[in-house]
């Protein structure tokens, strides 16, 4: 009985570690920038993608019909268009207002103004856009939806946002902050482990052929084929390294001595994906998630930083125990 009680206590200490809200501020600002970047990237193609009279390769009706097969309760832009027609607004006007509202909500998150409503509205509008253009959505949309969902449930506002300066609120329970950060950490561990395991099961990542096909396929072929041919022997090494980094993530990211190295590897991997394949939104959202989950409070190994233990610090010190 005493042993069970101790194990239960350890589980509670793991799930509810005391945390400050610095990680939440990084998460909020990062996702605000993500929403702003998402809106700006789609600015010129917004009506082409989602208008019934647009020139997109895939119509909005087809994407929404496919989404309705999964569940008729999934939010879609068609809902907003239908509501706008009931109040006398045309489709083009509704789509323009939706884009402007999404951009505004991202800006509010960056500034920390009306944090919770901004996070909820940003999540809803992004789900509508992602599901209405379902055949054009990719990993960035899935992770962005997930991140905004966690953000709107997190104990906002943090102390660094404008909301906290305009309205005095009670400090958030440190254990509640720790719980939501722990949820995010565990989710990322599952994502990377099963993603890396799926890569290891095939031969494409062992011989580099998957990397080759990814880097030469339009519109991701930013690198010249001549460069890829010149470094073709490095592709298998890079493929295996990516698999090992992802599979080892849920193990080494919890080790204090290995955490900084593994975090740098995962951030470098996503930065490389963004720069070599043009997947900037995917790279940004994954970098934000990793920094919020494990980056805040991490300490640079003092012997690698070339200074003292006190000066070698990546972000403000914060307890992060496994």
Do 50 and 129 belong together in one domain?
A: yes
How far the first Cα of the chain sits from its last, in Å, is 24
Do 63 and 184 belong together in one domain?
A: no
> Which of 121, 154, 187 is the C-terminal boundary of a domain?
154
State the total domains in the chain.
Answer: 2
What is the pTM (predicted TM-score) of this model? 0.87
Weakly modelled stretches of the chain, pLDDT under 70: 53-70, 134-137, 302-322
Do 301 and 187 belong together in one domain?
A: yes
Which residue's structure tokens are 């494990």?
294
Residue 169 is predicted with a pLDDT of 77
3, part of any domain: no
Do 99 and 62 belong together in one domain?
A: yes
Lookup: tokens for 172? 């958030």
37, part of any domain: yes
Do 25 and 130 belong together in one domain?
A: yes
Residue 136 is predicted with a pLDDT of 66
> Which of 154, 187, 222 is the C-terminal boundary of a domain?
154
Residue 316 is predicted with a pLDDT of 47
The answer to whether the beta carbons of residues 297 and 317 sit under 8 Å apart is: yes
Residue 218 is predicted with a pLDDT of 79
Residue 239 is predicted with a pLDDT of 92
Do 238 and 131 belong together in one domain?
A: no
- Within 8 A by CB and 6+ apart from 99, the residues are 39, 42, 43, 46
Residue 141 is predicted with a pLDDT of 87
Residue 315 is predicted with a pLDDT of 46
Residue 121 is predicted with a pLDDT of 96
Residue 313 is predicted with a pLDDT of 46
SS3 helix, strand, coil % of the chain, rounded to 5? Answer: 70, 0, 30
15, part of any domain: no
269, part of any domain: yes
> Tens digits of per-residue pLDDT, 96-131?
999 999 999 999 999 999 999 999 999 999 998 888
204, part of any domain: yes
159, part of any domain: no
Residue 250 is predicted with a pLDDT of 95
127, part of any domain: yes
Residue 319 is predicted with a pLDDT of 45
Residue 38's domain comprises 20-154
């Amino acid at each position: 009985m005493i042993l069970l009680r101790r194990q239960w206590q350890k589980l509670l200490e793991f799930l509810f570690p005391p945390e400050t809200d610095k990680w939440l501020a990084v998460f909020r600002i990062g996702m605000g920038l993500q929403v702003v970047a998402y809106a700006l990237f789609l600015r010129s193609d917004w009506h082409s993608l989602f208008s019934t009279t647009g020139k997109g390769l895939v119509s909005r009706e087809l994407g929404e019909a496919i989404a309705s097969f999964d569940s008729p309760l999934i939010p879609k832009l068609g809902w907003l268009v239908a509501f706008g027609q009931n109040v006398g607004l045309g489709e083009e006007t509704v789509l323009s207002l939706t884009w402007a509202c999404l951009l505004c909500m991202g800006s509010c998150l960056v500034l920390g103004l009306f944090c919770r409503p901004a996070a909820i509205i940003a999540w809803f509008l992004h789900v509508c856009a992602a599901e209405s253009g379902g055949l054009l959505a990719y990993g960035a949309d899935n992770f962005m939806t997930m991140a905004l969902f966690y953000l709107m449930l997190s104990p906002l506002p943090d102390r660094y946002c404008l909301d906290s300066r305009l309205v005095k609120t009670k400090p958030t329970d440190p254990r509640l902050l720790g719980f939501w950060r722990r949820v995010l950490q565990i989710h990322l561990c599952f994502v990377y482990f099963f993603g890396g395991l799926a890569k290891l099961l095939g031969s494409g990542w062992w011989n580099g052929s998957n990397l080759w096909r990814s880097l030469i396929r339009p519109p991701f072929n930013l690198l010249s084929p001549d460069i890829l041919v010149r470094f073709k022997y490095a592709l298998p090494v890079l493929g295996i390294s990516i698999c090992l980094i992802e599979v080892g993530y849920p193990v080494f990211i919890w080790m204090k001595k290995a955490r900084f190295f593994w975090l740098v590897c995962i951030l470098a991997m996503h930065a490389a994906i963004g720069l070599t394949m043009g997947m900037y939104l995917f790279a940004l959202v994954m970098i934000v998630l990793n920094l919020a989950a494990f980056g805040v409070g991490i300490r640079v190994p003092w012997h690698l930083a070339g200074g003292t233990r006190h000066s070698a610090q990546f972000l403000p010190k914060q307890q992060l125990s496994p």
